[in-house]
Structure 1
Amino acid sequence: MKIGVIADDFTGASDIALTLAEAGMAVSQFIGVPEGAADAALDAGVVALKSRTAPVAEAIAQSLAACDWLLAQGCAQIIFKVCSTFDSTPEGNIGPVLDALADRLGAEGVITCPAFPENGRSVYMGHLFVGDVPLNESGMQNHPLTPMTDSDLRRVLAAQSSRPVGHVAALTVMAGAEAIRAALPREGHVIVDAIRDADLMEIGKAAKGAALLCGGSGIALGLPANFGHSPATPAWEPVKGPGVVLSGSCSRATRGQVARYKALAPHREISAAEAVKGEVTTEELADWVLAQEVPPLVYSSADPEVVKAAQEIFGKGVAAEAIEQLFSDLAATLAARGVARIVVAGGETSGAAVQGVQARALRIGMRLAAGVPAVRVEGDRPLAMALKSGNFGGPDFFSEALALLAGEA
């Protein structure tokens, strides 16, 4: 391997895996830290962790274990993949994990940039924007687990890190790779502006030889060329068979996608109370899903006010864990009973579903939407999945993804 990625959730892992695959690299996504050696033919490996909301010590331990495994596979460059909305509270783990990785790799002046212009994420003057609004006005301020109330990434990262946090401004980035490289500090971390894909390509050139980077999937756009790779279209073998949509994300985009798909297909909402109290069973839900002629929707994507009310009644962790466990068990049951296409919305929900079907590695396929590849679970049974971050995809993503997985679009 040449490039190794440590991703703090499952959808982010498949997102950056697609970026690397479309840049011409042979890529596999691993679920957790593998026990054995990887295929020597791989150019890049993405280790998907479920550490975004994990306690700091646990997130550090998992990330260092992933780093050590990737280094053992020969990786010359490590990327710490975080969400393009930099999901983390002041007590979060992005800073501590980045510090630990930098210490392990002896890295200084670590470039940090979660920009992904194609999906409306840009960094300007150190502030993260979603579309044309600051992060803290984008709806992310209402996230049930990682509310983002400050768009200034310098302040966000400095509140978590023991290292100094610098900044490379957009005008310097636009001057090109040499200017970026000259502006990088000799120590600590540095937020680098990016408002165009061209900026990320220059950042990639500037990062040639860097031991460590941090960012969203866009941070990988310019890196494969440093290793001699050229853009290519990942291959995909269609998967036919029954399908289902599982949605646990409460983002604005996903709630819109849920509303659109409800008009087309059977749907079943799962409330926090039902999940916590065990008022709905996995077998009952699986029977209902398999009885539908059109791939149905099972969702818990509620408005922020509903989520907040459930948290006040049951506790923040209790409600989330109960819903995740239900989705995990449901995915396992449906896969065992022949469902061959599973579209999942939400990072935590995707992690639960992937763990439920006991996937160990995912083969990266074609693009379903910006940042969302088709993935095939490696194993004996045909099982295709789409793992979507909350805010990704267009209004009709669910129906489009199901069709694309089956080769029908």
Structure 2
Amino acid sequence: MKLPERCEVAVVGAGAVGVATALWLRRQGYQVIVLERDAVAAGASYGNAGTFAPYGCMPIAQPGLLKDIPRLLFSPDSPFVIRWSRLPRLMPWLLRFLDQCRPQNFQRNATALAQLLQHTYQGYAPLLDEAPAANRHLRHKGCIYAYASQDSLRAADAGYALRERFGIPQQRLGREELEALEPALAGKSVGGILFPESSHLDDPQRFFEDLAAPLLAEGALHFNAVERLSRQRSGLQLDCADGQRLLADRVVLCGGAWSAALARQVGDRIPLDTERGYHLEFDLDDTLLERPCCPVESAFYMTPMAGRLRVAGTVELGSIRDAANPQRFDYLEQRVRRVLGLRAPVARRWLGFRPSLPDSLPVIGASPNEPRLIHAFGHQHLGLTLAGATGQLVAQILDGRAPDWLDSFSARRF
């Protein structure tokens, strides 16, 4: 499809955040063009755990992690691994990450995340009102953290207290209460936590395709990779892979793991790296579970979806260019079979890239070097959850109505 010569706002990326942002800007009356290198929700927005996590205020970088790092990095049974051949390139990011584990940084980051998470459903509400087909993919049944040992359950007290301080709804579950909600976990857990306001999707990609339908119908969505971003007197110019160019008054960068390279072209050096996320899917008539469940010690989610069970999680630090690590798939398969007693074969395997910053906060706000460029990326494990809220905030930024607390997410913090 031929691009127009110019537009009012160009959104780079049609993942969860890009779609929601474009829809919010469209609602505000802006003329929007969306540029996507692949397909709607083709990356991390496709392969995630399909869970809305308004409870997810715990940054990955936290004080207790420091003493566990040797075990996490060197144990073959760890949910957190590093591609050691990539360590020299990863070292600057890792040093920033370790600094964010200090108690004062952890508290600051958790407070900022909790503030943003308050807007999870508010950010989606008007978009879903206009997209009943997308709304039908939502399931409102909560989410469970399940603990296999009393030691792990006691270790969860600090996180419970933090969420309680932020007013996040949660409920402790004894073993019998947990098993009443999820009989498939009988004998596997000593207790857990229910997050009653969590929801999940029966098909994340279909959800975003249905949400993006107005953009497609109006010809606002173009499948073209942006290779270059440059400043012109009359706007920001986007050069695409097929040779086409688009001049925009404003650009919103929602390109996920590929965003930092474009941001550098206007002088913004943002320490974005990627967590390589994995999932498995099992085709099942009975998905065994009613809601997403996380066996906390193994650090993955088991999410019932339409005709299948998705098992998603773990963290691998490496490169976008590296092939999938078979051991990560084995890790997920062995543990989900142990927890649920699955005998069905694995139907699908997936590797994707979560855009991650050392402090676990996304970058949302105008570029420090180019005010016509708005950053909206780096959501790590919360892209699905925070897409609607981010889109709403971007619309407020363009209207000059951004809340003061959004400064915590500015690229200036680096």
TM-score range, shorter chain: under 0.3
* More contact order relative to length (CA 8 Å, sep ≥ 6): 2
Q: More strand by proportion, 1 or 2?
A: 2
**TM-score relative to the length of structure 2:** 0.25
**TM-score relative to the length of structure 1:** 0.25
